[in-house]
Structure 1
Amino acid sequence: MTATTEILRPASYVYGTWHTAPDGQTLHDAVYGRPIAVISSEGVDFAEALRYGREVGGPALRKLTFHTRARMLRALATYLLERKEDYYQLSLLTGATRRDGWVDIEGGIGTLFNYASMARRDLPDERFLPEGKVERLGKGGTFVGRHLLVPREGVAVQINAYNFPVWGMLEKLAPAFIAGMPSLVKPAPQTAYLTERVVRDIIASGLLPEGSLQLVTGDPGDLLDHLEEQDMVAFTGSAATAQKLRVHPNIVARNVPFNTEADSLNASVLGLTVRPEDPEFALYVREVAREMTGKAGQKCTAIRRAIVPRDRVEEVVAALRAELSKVTVGDPARDDVRMGALVSTEQRERVRATLDALKAETSVVIGGEERELLGGDREKGAFLDPTLLLCESPLTARGPHELEAFGPVATLLPYDTLEEAAHLSKMGRGSLAGSIVTYDRAEATELVMGMASSHGRLLILNRDDAKESTGHGSPLPQLLHGGPGRAGGGAELAGLAGVKHHMNKVAVQADPTTLAAITHEYVPGAEVREDVIHPFRKTFDEIQVGDSLLTHRRTVTEADIVNFAALTGDHFYAHVDEIGAKEGIFGKRVAHGYFLISAAAGQFVWPAPGPVLANYGLENLRFVEPVGIGDTIRTRLTCKRKIRKDLRPGETRPTGVVEWHAEITNQRDELVATYDILTLVERAPDASDDLTA
């Protein structure tokens, strides 16, 4: 039995202080209906909160590099993970089971870890992000351009739904924080007490710069009236509410970016080729049942429409009846309960009303009778038993494709052809997530191509990926969470795309040397610095972007080509067959491309031990012109950029990666090959290194 005698008073954290109102809305726990919290935002100055974010949080974040922010985010994730049991206890009051809470709490914290890792791995240790290649804008090479991404100088206002009070906040906070943009979090009131507890710990940790996170519990008041052009809004909730907020006069007038992730009528398709004895049949039944009952069906990605072959309907119903009969309902604090309650009795009544409307075009095939309740209060609590409907004529029905019962409810839709199945999935007018269960690759391909335009994410589930699959409804930090049409037309997560969404793209046009100075990356054609000290004799700290070495010359001989062919076993005719080569595209024998790279290494490598520890990789290789017998080559090696590496556990030798731009030219100064080399280089220890780890 969940137990709490204390009435919680979730506060707002704005302009550096905790703000609690004396009166407000009373919240009840979802299981027994007891009053548990009073929530209000009365007295909050929303204009001041936004100003504080812009003038305090924003500047503090923009002083930091991506890597520094990532280290802060990782430290915060570790800090929150140590306190997760406190969050689980509060989560029980929302009606969530331990498994439901795991997705919300540890899933949210895991998103922080993921974004911290992505930022350290894929972003530079800078306050801005160069994007794409350098574009040559003039024939002489003195006028070039490149795109840069910089943080927006506003506040990311994040309006979250009630169903994931932890994950919903952290999955928006993570990319905004990495981008360098402060967040103002507005959770849904029903579960705001859990969000507030997590925010209270975040503020107490002192790990984030002041002003980078603010929280408003209770009513949002006139918050949207005070938004400015550099601000952003990210909304998660119902499609109807999203439509109202999107056309708010101030949002429209100031062209404030508005990202929506709305509830959608997600579908799962069972392939025509799947038979009841196949592993995929059991996978489909298990997935539908899990999506119906996880979080008591209160997930924006849950399966609302189960699209199955018409001749498999009876078998699917029988299998789902058996699977759902195992689902025990009651107090989520009990170990023997698999499904808890909806978030509130008000939400339960909304689901019942939608269910009644759906019955006009469907029949109930599972449900309708109250199950035994294992703890909790049937009347005061917000319990609703799993219900499966069947729509015999899904192509002409409207309700299943328009009405969403945001609870443990799904509708079976029979189909006859794959084209019809894809069409049914698209009748929901846009979905966050869809799934296809089949082992037939041709069938999967046809369904993906038929469904892709109306979905943000598609899972193909079969016996090969079932063990590792995260399931139909689980958003992943690396992949898009969003969808077209009814789903909102927005995009969250998607790896670094979520970070870039919070940044402004600007095209910078300049001469190569100036552009290199701005971006801290060497640009071909920019001025270089040549030194009597070989660049491979310099440590990571000593080497500078633009340091360059122009090597001695080497004439390519027939012996070079023959010996390289013998050493590698590469006897391609263009290198070793005089007659075949003359008839080929070059008209003569040419050197192996990989011989040129090897020869260039022999020209620029410093042979003695030194700071350069290893070759870390080679990227962007292009062979531009052929090199024949008697041609003379030389190489220019220039430091393109530097990437500091953190010490990993067990490492005691600090290092960084130096990226070098290599250009091989011939005796006519024509470019014959270009590529980038990554070397692991020793660096001096600094304050962030823990040499005792």
Structure 2
Amino acid sequence: MSLHQISSFAAGTWVAPGEGARTIASAITGAPFASAGNTALDVQAMLDYARNTGGPALRKLTFHDRARMLKALAQELSAHKQALYDLSFETGATQKDHLIDIDGGIGTMFVFASKGRREMPDAQVYLDGDIEQLSRNGTFLGQHICTPLQGVAVHINAFNFPVWGMLEKLAPTLLAGVPAIVKPATNSCYVTELAVRIILDSGILPAGALQLVSGGLGDMLDHLSCQDVVSFTGSANTALKLRQTPAILQNSVRFVAEQDSLNASILGRDAEPGTPEFDLFVKEVSREMTTKAGQKCTAIRRIIAPDSQVDAVISALSERLAKITIGDPRAETTRMGALVSNGQKADVLEKANLIGQEAERVYGNPDAFDLHGPETGAFVPPMLFHCADPDKAQRVHDTEAFGPVSTLMGYRDLDHAVALANRGQGSLVTSLITHDTEVARDVVMGAAAYNGRIYINDRNSMAESTGHGSPLPHMVHGGPGRAGGGEEMGGVRGVKHYMQRTAIQGSPRMLSSIGTKWVTGSPEIQGPAHPFTRKFGELQVGETLHTASRVITLEDIEHFANFTGDTFYAHMDEEAAARNPFFPGRVAHGYLLLSFAAGLFVEPNEGPVLANTGLDGLRFMKPVVAGDSIKVRLTVKQKTPRNDDYGEVRWHVSLTNQDDEPVAEYELLTMNAR
């Protein structure tokens, strides 16, 4: 059978394997399956193509444009999932594993598409934080902004998730407006290549936005600049070598790493056999040991249980692992497939032997286990070790067997459990199974500094929880120390890795223009009609309405109090109110002022304003007493399209009294027809 030829996509052209190509074996059979790699790739041409063609095209788009693009890509990949499933079996993954890799990757793109539309502006500049007033009268202000880097993101991915590993980096990169060169691990690059072909064939991306290296990168990293980013997933040793590339050091190239992690799971003392938490703990550990044959950066490598529960955990976990059917991942009855290659199998067994020097193997014999697949494949059984003296041990805390291998150890008290977890010297995730809130707080306080994520589960959340090993696009995925120090995904936080934060200083007018968001003190625009009569597309940022005044009477205050039931003493008892250091006597309700303000600026007739959806940043600055008057300034602060029918308008509302002193201010949100 001829080998599958796995190409690269470089500078707009598909390049077949050539000089230096490597043969890739099937994980299931060990037989040659594909060929990939070409040392003749013109890496400088690829970088130039990304920087000069892809980058400018992406930067012309707004965040919303790019978010819509991500959604379209996710839909396109969803339509071709079966082809990805069929090919991915050759990596040793089961159908359940495909759901994590392929469906999980597509789901990640959908999340970033949604966050781009909901949490980022329909603009090319992202405003990071609030305005800083740098002068007494507000004529000189500061604002942090984020803009896309003008280079390329080089993504170096691991073998275990050929689709999710690419898409979880690609989504925030493209949303930021930066082109990417993707380099998957060679052992599973054929799945990534198919996903890239689906993406490129769709025609959704602008030219130069995405390129693919199937095989080695050559000297690409030697050509990177301060505008480029390297995002790496893999071993700590490889990450260290890449970080030391002279160009990366000299040019301060951003280097985001997600690497080795000796993740732990702690069983709380309250979670005894017979409790929902004990059963949950055993289920979680078993799942994390066997999903993707343990080839997950977030898999549980160290199981930490109370000394009194060690035997019970061994018994329950062994019983559950015995039900795992190991074999050909294409078979419906298979629960755990193969490692990605026989080379990986040899590495896992070598690391397991190192762990075995300090711990006893209590379940799983790689030389004798039930196998429902070819003996030539990269199959191993789940292996559970017990370390009787984890304080003296070293290998169990620094050796990661990247397969279905985990070590159980006992703890004396909670401080001991936390100390053992922290011996990993930085983890992507530590999980805690407990129903005791005090235990949860103590573990978080003791272990958070060593973890990128702490996953806590109990009977209340177990039905909906996503699991110890599931990084979610909404949350940071990364960890300190040994785990690499990186922070991938994390919603909009992940997008910022591919942008430059810059402090902009200037007048309100300048900041309004740069951020396309009205800043107090900027010029106001007089619209041709009441702003509530104008459609979303007709309104201009800065368009302002000044209302007439209304006098607040004592009768207004008392009627509002009796009508609403809010008879708080500051509104109804003159002597009590006068004793309050904040009030001169009886004052108007804050909510009365808001109601009267609406009465001053609202246009009552049917029109393009569809709904009032919220109010942000409300502040009361000066009390209003009977006899005072209020007037309102209503300004279009920001416009955000939501769909083809309507968009969100953010209005700045300020209330002043008869002396033009600020009384209250807030931001009103409305949905306006387009």
Interval of TM-score (by shorter of Structure 1 and Structure 2) = over 0.9
How far apart are residue 6 of structure 1 and its match? Answer: 4.5
Identity %: 50
Find the partner of 1:351 among 304, 326, 348: 348
User: Quick one: distance in 2 between partners of 1:372 and 1:393?
Assistant: 31
Pairing 1:342–2:339 present: yes
SS of the residue corresponding to residue 36 of structure 1 reads: strand
Residue 62, structure 1, aligned to residue 59, structure 2: yes
Write the mapping of 1:237-252 to structure 2, written as runs, cut at 5 A. Answer: 237-252=234-249
**Which residue in the other structure is 1:396 paired with?**
392
Q: 1:13 aligns with which of 3, 9, 16?
A: 9
Q: TM-score, normalised by structure 1?
A: 0.96
Q: Verify the 8 A CA contact 1:21 1:43 in the aligned structure 2.
A: no
**Residue number in structure 2 paired with 1:422:** 418
Kindly indicate whether residue 206 of structure 2 is the aligned counterpart of residue 209 of structure 1.
Answer: yes
Looking at structure 1, the residues matched to 543 and 26 of structure 2 have their Cα atoms a distance apart, in angstroms, of 65
Q: 1:92 maps to which residue?
A: 89
Query: Cα offset for 1:530?
Result: 2.3
Q: Is the 8 A contact 1:166 1:194 kept in 2?
A: yes
- In the other structure, the counterpart of 2:377 is 381
Q: What does residue range 669-684 of structure 1 map to in structure 2 within 5 Å?
A: 669-683=660-674
C-alpha distance in structure 1 between counterparts of 2:562 and 2:121, whole Å: 42
Verify: 1:543 aligned to 2:534, yes or no. no
- Show the counterpart of 2:568: 572
Alignment partner of 1:178 is 2:175: yes
Distance in 1 of aligned mates of 2:526 and 2:192: 56
Matched AA of 2:654: E
Q: 2:480 aligns with which of 476, 484, 489?
A: 484
* Higher mean C-alpha displacement, 138-147 vs 312-321: 138-147
1:406 aligns with 2:397: no
Q: Who is 2:502 aligned against?
A: 506
**TM-score between both structures, scaled by the size of structure 2:** 0.98
* SS in structure 1 at match of 2:6: coil
- 8 Å Cα contact 1:96-1:295 kept in structure 2: yes
Q: Report how far residue 514 of structure 1 moved.
A: 2.0
- 2:269 corresponds to: 272
Is it true that 1:153 corresponds to 2:144 in the alignment? no
Conserved in 2, the CA contact under 8 Å of 1:41 and 1:220? no
Give the Å deviation of 1:428: 0.4
| 3-state DSSP of counterpart to 1:423 | helix
Task: Indicate conservation of the 8 Å contact 2:70/2:110, yes or no.
Answer: yes
Match of 2:293 among 292, 296, 315: 296
What code does the residue aligned with 1:144 have? L
Residue 568 of structure 1 and its aligned partner are, at CA, apart by 1.1
Amino acid at match of 2:324: V
Query: 1:532 offset after TM fit, Å?
Result: 5.2
Give the equivalent residue in structure 2 for 1:137.
134
- For residue 18 of structure 2, what is the aligned residue in structure 1? 22
* Offset, 1:136: 1.3
Structure 1, unaligned stretches of length 5 or more? 648-653, 684-693
C-alpha contact 2:18 2:40 (8 A) present in aligned 1:
no
Shift of 1:470: 1.0
Tell me what 2:639 maps to.
Answer: 642
Partner of 2:282: 285
1:650 corresponds in structure 2 to none
Contact 2:125 2:514 in 1 (8 A): no
Aligned partner of 2:619: which letter?
Answer: R
Most deviating of 439-448 and 417-426: 439-448
Distance 2:265 2:97 in 1: 21
Q: Give yes or no for contact 2:18–2:38 (8 Å, CA) kept in 1.
A: no
After the TM superposition, which residues 527-542 of structure 1 pair with which residues of structure 2 at under 5 Å, given as runs?
527-531=523-527, 533-542=529-538
1:666 aligns with: 657
* Mapped partners of 2:382, 2:509: distance in 1: 66
Q: Does 1:232 align with 2:221?
A: no
- 1:106-117 mapped onto 2 (5 Å cutoff): 106-117=103-114
Say if 2:451 is the partner of 1:460.
no
Q: Secondary structure at the match of 1:193?
A: helix
1:186-197 correspondence runs (5 A): 186-197=183-194
> SS of the residue aligned with 1:244?
helix
Per-residue CA deviation, residues 39-97 of structure 1 (Å, 9 max, x unaligned), is 11221011110111000000000000111111111111111111111111111100001
Residue 371 (1) aligns with residue 362 (2): no
Q: Which amino acid aligns with 1:72?
A: M
Does residue 446 (structure 1) correspond to residue 442 (structure 2)? The answer is yes
| Post-superposition CA distance 1:422-478 (Å, at most 9, x none) | 000000000001100011111111112111110001111111111111110110000
CA contact (8 A) 1:263 1:301 kept: no
Aligned partner of residue 59 in structure 1, secondary structure: helix
Residues 281-333 of structure 1, C-alpha deviations (whole Å, 9 max, x = no match): 11101111111111111000000000000111111000011000000111000
* Bigger Cα displacement from structure 2, 93-102 vs 367-376: 367-376
CA contact (8 A) 2:108 2:167 kept: yes
Match of residue 466 from structure 2: 470
Pair 1:222-2:219 in alignment? yes
For residue 326 of structure 1, the aligned residue among 310, 320, 323 is: 323
**Residue 458 of structure 2 aligns to which amino acid in structure 1?**
N
Q: 1:387 to 1:222 in 2, by over 3 A?
A: same
- Secondary structure of the corresponding residue to residue 414 of structure 1: strand
| Partners of 1:272 and 1:561 in 2: CA distance | 58
Structure 1 position 134, deviation (Å): 1.3
Structure 1 SS opposite 2:406: strand
CA–CA distance in structure 2, aligned partners of residues 468 and 166 of structure 1: 25
CA distance in 2, matches of 1:439, 1:570: 40
Q: The residue matched to 1:457 in structure 2 has which SS?
A: strand
Structure 2, unmatched stretches of 5+, are none
Tell me how far apart the structure 2 counterparts of residues 339 and 199 of structure 1 sit (CA, whole Å). Answer: 27
- Contact 1:613/1:679 (<8 A) preserved: yes
* Map of 1:516 onto structure 2: 512
Residues 606 and 60 (structure 1), Cα distance of their counterparts in 2 relative to 1, 3 Å cut: same
Matching residue of 1:494: 490
How far does residue 587 in structure 1 lie from its aligned partner after superposition?
3.0
Counterpart-to-counterpart distance in 1, 2:213 and 2:39: 10
Match for residue 587 of structure 1?
584
Distance 1:162 1:81 in 2: 21
Report 1:606-645 matches (<5 A). Answer: 606-645=603-642
Provide Cα deviations, 1:520-573, integer angstroms capped at 9, x if missing partner. 111101110224521111111211011111111111110111011112111111
| Alpha-carbon shift at residue 581 of structure 1 (Å) | 0.7
Cα offset, 1:21, TM superposition: 2.7
Cα deviations by residue, 1:601-649 (Å, 9 ceiling, x for unpaired): 11111122222122121111111111111111111111101111214xx
Q: Is the 8 A contact 2:9 2:213 kept in 1?
A: yes
Partner-residue secondary structure (3-state), 2:558: helix
